[in-house]
Chains A and B, each alone.
Chain A
């Protein structure tokens, strides 16, 4: 299967600082990537959809100025958590849709990034 890599896998930062998380599709081109957030013992919640070369689409309740998404190439999307606070501590996961194949409907996930804001 296709490989999606996230970096870093774990990060601890001080309150008020910004953290950037990278999501790369290693062996395929991803025109669309998705960012999810997962709090302990809860399911994944979609935050935003990232399209290469255009602005991201955010889900209701997700602050676009706080969670900056950039999808500058077909293999890289970044999520920057700006002015992080302890309540932003969570497990952030990206996924990528493979190519433009109408019938290819699998989504491939990164290994996730555990963010702890202290």
Chain B
């Protein structure tokens, strides 16, 4: 299994600002993903973070709003840009080996005022 940490665990931000969330995995993994979970809802995949190349975004999510970096196999960041109250959500990173289960970080609870 993989142990995943995220920073910050929570934040309260003003609209129009940006927040960068960090995700650290304790072992080298092939796949890293970023999900959004709105209050009381299921998880929606934002993008797959690719090491050494641009992230692959899902429908409805764009790089300008959610830029992602993955400089190595164990670390990734997600930035939520130009935030609005609609961006208030829990953001989770996950990792896993191909064909296998995913392990999730503890999440970052974001509130935008």
A and B: partners?
A: no
